[in-house]
């Protein structure tokens, strides 16, 4: 298998994940109708997801998880490091979109650098 095929699949996956993250941001977190519907606690499961996301944004859980995985991926050799970097992107991309860009940008850049690193000879 060529080296470009997994990279193309990863790029398409990241683009889809980015689109899903923006859909979550503008469809659930910033939509004014959810503010009114979520005034009464416990009526909609979407309100529980919105509250959980609000807490994870406040405590920057996704951004720190992505950064930790990206730093760890720099030290793990082989396919394990590659998968850790892909997992760091899984946390880092939504963190970029969901208001924690100051930390998540480092996670995404480090994960991207690990993903394009040439394997040791």
Q: pLDDT tens for residues 15-38?
A: 999 999 999 899 888 888 877 788
DSSP secondary-structure letter at 26?
I
Percent of the chain's residues with pLDDT above 70: 94
Both structure tokens of 73 = 């991926």
Cα–chain-centroid distance for residue 54?
A: 15
For 77-97, give one letter per residue: b (16+ CB within 10 A) or e.
eeeebbebbbbbbbbbbbbbb
pLDDT bucket at 6, cuts 50 / 70 / 90: confident
Greatest extent of the chain over all pairs of C-alpha atoms, in Å: 60
pLDDT for the residue numbered 33: 84
Tell me how crowded residue 76 is: count the other CB atoms within 10 A of its CB. Answer: 15
Instruction: Of 115, 101, 100, 102, give the one whose Cα is nearest residue 70.
Output: 115
Cα–chain-centroid distance for residue 69?
A: 11
| Torsion sign, CA atoms 38, 92, 81, 116 | positive
82-102 tens-digit pLDDT: 999 999 999 999 999 988 889
Residue count (the chain): 121
What average pLDDT does range 101-112 have in this prediction? 94
pLDDT for the residue numbered 42: 67
Contacts of 97 (CB under 8 A, 6+ apart): 18, 21, 22, 24, 25
pLDDT bucket at 1, cuts 50 / 70 / 90: low
Q: pTM of the entire structure?
A: 0.85
pLDDT for the residue numbered 50: 86
């Amino acid at each position: 298998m060529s080296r470009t095929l997994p990279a193309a699949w990863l790029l398409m996956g990241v683009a889809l994940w980015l689109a899903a993250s923006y859909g979550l941001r503008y469809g659930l977190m910033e939509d004014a109708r959810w503010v009114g519907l979520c005034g009464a606690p416990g009526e909609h499961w979407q309100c529980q997801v919105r509250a959980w996301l609000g807490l994870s944004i406040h405590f920057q859980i996704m951004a720190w998880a992505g950064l930790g995985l990206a730093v760890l991926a720099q030290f793990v050799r082989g396919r394990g490091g590659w998968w850790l970097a892909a997992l760091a992107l899984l946390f880092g991309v939504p963190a970029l979109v969901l208001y924690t860009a100051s930390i998540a940008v480092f996670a995404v850049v480090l994960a991207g650098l690990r993903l394009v690193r040439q394997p040791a000879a």
